[in-house]
Amino acid sequence: MAIIATAGHVDHGKSSLVAALTGTDPDRLPDEKRRGMTLDLGFAFRSMGDSQSLEFVDVPGHEDLVRTMIGGVWSANVLLLVVDVVEGVMPQTLEHLLIAELLGIQEIVVALNKIDLLHFGRLSKEGELRDVFASLGWARCTFVRTSAITGEGVAELVTVLERLASLRVVPTKDGYQSRSRLFVDRVFVRLGVGTVVTGTLTDGPLYAGLELCVIRDRQKVRVREIQHQGKSVSSLGPGHRCAINLTSADTLDLRRGDELVIEQDWWPTKAFGVEIKVTPEAQGGIGFRGSNLFCIATNSTSCRVLPDGLAEIAPGMTARATIEIEEPLALKPGDRFILRDSGRNATVAGGIVRIIDPPEPPWCTVQEYLRRVGRNPPSAIGDVFISTTELAQIQTKIGSLLDSEGSLGLASLSQIDRAVLGTMSNITTEQDEVRRTGEKNSKESALLLYVRSAGATGVPSASIDRSIARRLVNRGAFVECGGLTFEREFLYGLSPVIIELLDLHSDGFSVSHLRERLEITRKFAVPLAEALDHVRMTRRVADFRVAGVMLNLTSRLERGID
């Protein structure tokens, strides 16, 4: 069983594709039918046999309904990203993909929809879209060409989704998964039945007769009946969509975003420790003065972010913080959330809950510790307090990264990580790198040899480890041009070839001349020529290359002339 959430830009055919997959139109509201646009969450399922099924949550694609989209995607195991092959990747495609990444969704299937509208160039269009996703770091996505109108690709898409569902590992029960919790996404009254709520049971089990508490107002309700996929069941485990008929519940007192739990099993909180990742595209950092919405499941509420030891968390940075919210929520370590800038109406960060109602911050400045706790910290590293547990965890983390990576870029380490470095022995910091004293970076050496062996054809930049490649580019060992990576020393070593070409073509040589001399295709010759310009071995004049300032220097060095 898997919960599959759709995503994608408005009018790319999400709802039509769900209807083709399940036979159920997820757009149930009259306004949705009239406008031909999804405005709220929709639900459908497809049986897989053996009591297994694919359960779909269809979400709106409009930019004004992103919070509704988050509510539908939050509990999903698989994201079905629908892209109109004619329009291609659009703004909401990118934001929905970003939200999926921040929520930790690993399995993404891209439906290249409306393929029936393309009569020619299908493969080239698919290749173009694959390249776009690869450039965004999602080359591992599964791509399927589909048409909700003709049915093309629908069977293949079903096979892909069923395979992912069969591979899904059901997590073993821990102290939280055995505690019932459901975020409400719909509330309505059914004639002769009473109040009904629907949602995804993220933690369970749930069974008839169970008394639950609405966290927001501590209202007590009781489960009269549970329905799953239109059938009444006596109990249900976590990870399923369901509808619950509640007794002692007033529909007017319930709303989307309410949390139903067993009261004695959870500790509602308004303050909790988190780890936040701010998106590189955010237009500013996140700090105390920001106006942000904390979005988890179908609930969204204003919040205050208190970064640990920082004025703000900068774009592209990951850091610890405390979040304070207006109404209590029942949360657990591991819960993922989204932060949206309520002023700009934009997704700016995502994160994971670490500590519920922490008695003291794991680390912060001495002044911040005094403000929060009311006393001076027991110990400090310079002007930073760090708890003994946090210090040991960060030391272990850095040590493990050095063992696996060989070296770390200083830029990749947070402020507190860099402070902890000073407490660790046998660590050497050299330029912008950290490594164990006396050790070389084996991964860097291997990558250098790999790129060097590629020679004039270089290697595709997207195919190699970007973190290592960036460090080598910054140090000047690599040159990246036209999507290819070349070794700088190899480029300098081409001086005899360049001199030979200039002797044959006194007014300058062309890319074709370089291609013929090195016996490579134009695909490689153009980036290579640009790389030679970059390291100033050559200089471009119109469509020709003449000698660059580095050419004479390298040729003199090769002849041993000072």
Rounded to 10 deg, the angle between the 511-518 and 522-534 helix axes is 110
User: How many CA atoms are closer than 13 Å to the CA of 311, on its beta-carbon side?
Assistant: 2
| More confident call, 252 vs 300 | 300
Model confidence at 175, pLDDT cuts 50, 70, 90, reads very low
**What does the block give as tokens for 121?**
């160039």
Please state the separation of Cα 453 from the chain's center in Å: 34
pLDDT digits 0-9 by tens, 359-418: 667 888 887 776 555 567 888 888 888 888 889 999 898 888 887 777 777 777 888 888
Model confidence at 174, pLDDT cuts 50, 70, 90, reads very low
> What pLDDT is recorded for position 523?
92
Domains and CATH numbers, the chain: 2-167 (3.40.50.300), 181-265 (2.40.30.10), 269-358 (2.40.30.10), 359-440 (no CATH), 446-558 (1.10.10.10)
**What does the block give as tokens for 453?**
């062996």
- pTM, 2 dp: 0.62
Determine the 3-state secondary structure of 116 from DSSP: helix
For 160-202, give the DSSP string. Answer: HHHHHHHHPPPPPP-TTTTS-EEEEEEEEEETTTEEEEEEEEE
| 265 CB neighbour count, 10 Å cutoff | 15
- Residue 196 phi/psi, 5-degree rounding, is -130, 135
Q: What is the mean pLDDT of the segment spanning 60-70?
A: 78
Separation of alpha carbons 285 and 511, rounded Å: 45
Closest to 105 (Cα-Cα) out of 148, 38, 59 = 59
> What does the DSSP 8-state code read for residue 509?
B
> What pLDDT is recorded for position 554?
57
Determine the 3-state secondary structure of 357 from DSSP: coil
For 203-238, give the DSSP string. Answer: E--EETT-EEEETTTTEEEEEEEEEETTEEESEE-S
How buried is 456 (Cβ within 10 angstroms: 0-12 exposed, 13-18 middle, 19+ buried)? buried
| More confident call, 504 vs 14 | 504
> What pLDDT is recorded for position 51?
64
Between the alpha carbon of residue 389 and those of residues 164, 200, 288, 416, 467, the distances in Å are 38, 35, 26, 14, 29
Model confidence at 13, pLDDT cuts 50, 70, 90, reads confident
> What pLDDT is recorded for position 178?
66
Q: Helices in 293-382 by DSSP H: which ranges?
A: 366-373
Span of 255-264, 281-290, 492-501, 504-513 with lowest mean pLDDT: 281-290
**What does the block give as tokens for 227?**
């329905």
pLDDT exceeds 60 at position 329 = yes
Model confidence at 192, pLDDT cuts 50, 70, 90, reads confident
Closest to 211 (Cα-Cα) out of 222, 201, 203 = 222
> What does the DSSP 8-state code read for residue 292?
E
Percentage of the chain modeled with pLDDT above 70: 89
Q: Average pLDDT, whole number, for the chain?
A: 84
The structure tokens 């983390």 sit at 397
Separation of alpha carbons 317 and 311, rounded Å: 13
